[in-house]
Amino acid sequence: MRVEIWSDIACPWCYVGKARFEKALAAFEHRDGVEVVHRSFELDPGRAKDDVQPVLTMLTAKYGMSEAQAQAGEDNLGAQAAAEGLDYRTRGRDHGSTFDMHRLLHLAKEHGRQEVLLDALYRGNFAEERSVFDDDERLVELAVAAGLAEDAVRTVLSDPTAYADEVRADEREAAQLGATGVPFFVLDRTYGVSGAQPAEVFAQALTQAWGERPPLKLVDAGDGTAEACGPDGCAVPQN
């Protein structure tokens, strides 16, 4: 079974939701039969690379709330994250474009390091002091620590077209599936789970999706003549 997760590094509920989903997945009896694929989704597509501002400034401008309301929301998110064993800085974070991070995640996917890099980017954005938005060197540092070659990382960052099509394709697909926000989880292209649901909801979705997978339909000539190998060896033609 395949689970696809659309998310954005700037999304705090994606950070929390990933931890909740992983808690459910770790307890799922068919865990080894589940493939997890991470997909790109920008909450602020088209944002200029150099447009970086404090989180509170972004929240007050975007949602028309007071700074006190925005800070209260951050404090609540910090508590939600802590309940999942995650560190979360409720003061001093900033916000910016995540496009380059998504491009690097596609590079990481090619090398089997996507999950490691995604976790590093989440920690960098939500738990650590140094910004992931205002300095490419920070992204290079995180990507190399996640196991990517420095030259490859720098090549991607220096070419804004590298993996851009892959990011945009993920975002178009999310729109086609009806995703208007993230995190958005799709199980075997049959079930969707929107938002950072409790682990129990993810567990229920995994169980239901696994149980309702259609049985495999075999297509053959119908006469039993096709040769095959099995546990007892291979059939050897007699003439």
Q: Check residue 222 and give its pLDDT.
A: 67
CA 39 to chain centre: 5
Question: Which of the 8 DSSP states describes residue 31?
Answer: G
pLDDT at 233: 72
pTM, 2 dp? 0.90
d(Cα 9, Cα 101) in Å, to the nearest integer?
8
Q: 40: which 2 tokens?
A: 């790109």
Angle ∠(209,213,216) on CA atoms, nearest 5: 165
Return d(Cα 141, Cα 150) in angstroms, integer. Answer: 8
Residue 37, beta-bridge partner list: 4
Tens-digit pLDDT profile for the chain (239 aa)?
999 999 999 999 999 999 999 999 999 999 999 999 999 999 999 999 999 999 999 999 999 999 999 999 999 999 999 999 999 999 999 999 999 999 999 999 999 999 999 999 999 999 999 999 999 999 999 999 999 999 999 999 999 999 999 999 999 999 999 999 999 999 999 999 999 999 999 999 999 999 988 777 778 766 666 777 876 777 666 65
Strand, coil or helix: what is 234? Answer: strand
Q: At what angle do helices 164-176 and 99-110 cross, to 10 degrees?
A: 100
Cα torsion angle, 13, 98, 169, 105, sign? negative
Residue 238: predicted pLDDT: 63
